[in-house]
């Protein structure tokens, strides 16, 4: 297989965003008198977009109107505070530079709101990615294939030329739905066992393995 493009998930794959997500979520919950979450609880809840994160975070039986208010407040807080503790994982910058030097097209596909995806990508990886696609109007969140298909269209590549790299069960399902092979990152928010249970079959122990594989 000739690989022309690599698509990356953002949270847990390129960037360790967990601390900033948890801080924004807990500020929002505490501001409404709701129980805060541990970092590990937040780790387990991320991956399916901000609405699903908030739905998991609020107590069972919370009224939908309250959930909607928490979601709006969380998004506003996170938009302002999404890049305080967030950093690329070790090995990611060098790996991206090596892929780009080899002529591989690169894109980000994420369940974050599209504005945050583009802002974080531009800040941490200037000039590296040709496309960065997040959740927005008319684009269903992963595991629907919309973000992947949009990125491939922007890059002008087919599924046969594309590899997807992600760290969660959502990413495994997304790649399957888009018809592209998936490499599961073991440095992110899920364990190997969790990924295997989700059907993952190909793994990356370190980012630096990626250029060698493709």
Per residue of the chain (214 residues), what is the pLDDT tens digit? 689 999 999 999 999 999 999 999 999 999 999 999 999 999 999 988 899 999 999 999 999 999 999 999 999 999 999 999 999 999 999 999 999 999 999 999 999 888 889 999 999 999 999 999 998 888 889 999 999 999 999 999 999 999 999 999 999 999 999 999 999 999 999 999 999 999 999 999 999 999 998 8
Fold designation for 18-81? DNA polymerase; domain 1 (1.10.150)
**Cα 126 to Cα 156: distance, rounded to the nearest angstrom:** 21
What predicted TM-score, i.e. pTM, was given to this entire model? 0.93
- The domain locations on the chain are 5-16+86-213, 18-81
Fold designation for 5-16+86-213? Rossmann fold (3.40.50)
| Known catalytic membership, residue 9 | yes
pLDDT digits (tens, 9 = 90+) for 144-190: 999 999 999 999 999 999 999 999 999 999 999 999 999 999 999 99
**Residue 89 neighbours by CB under 8 Å, 6+ apart:** 13, 14, 15, 16, 187, 188, 207
Bridge partners, residue 13, by sequence: none
**3-state DSSP assignment of residue 10:** coil
- The pLDDT score that the predictor gives to residue 1 is 61
> Which member of 9, 77, 146, 171 is catalytic?
9
């Amino acid at each position: 297989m000739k690989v022309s493009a690599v698509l990356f998930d953002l949270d847990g794959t390129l960037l360790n965003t967990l601390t900033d997500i948890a801080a924004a979520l807990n500020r929002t919950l505490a501001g409404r008198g709701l129980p805060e979450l541990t970092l590990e609880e937040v780790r387990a809840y991320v991956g399916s977009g901000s609405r699903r994160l908030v739905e998991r975070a609020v107590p069972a039986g919370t009224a939908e109107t309250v959930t909607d208010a928490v979601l709006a407040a969380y998004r506003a807080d996170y938009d302002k505070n999404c890049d305080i503790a967030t950093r690329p994982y070790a090995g990611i910058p060098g790996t991206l530079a090596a892929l780009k030097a080899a002529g591989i097209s690169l894109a980000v596909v994420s369940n974050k709101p599209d504005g945050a995806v583009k802002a974080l990508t531009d800040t941490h990886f200037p000039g590296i990615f040709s496309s960065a696609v997040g959740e927005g109007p008319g684009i269903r969140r992963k595991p629907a294939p919309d973000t992947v298909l949009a990125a491939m269209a922007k890059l002008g590549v087919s599924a046969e030329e594309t590899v997807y790299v992600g760290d969660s069960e959502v990413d495994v399902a997304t790649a399957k739905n888009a018809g592209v092979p998936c490499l599961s990152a073991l440095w992110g928010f899920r364990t190997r066992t969790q990924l295997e249970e989700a059907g993952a079959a190909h793994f990356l122990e370190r980012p630096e393995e990626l250029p060698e594989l493709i």
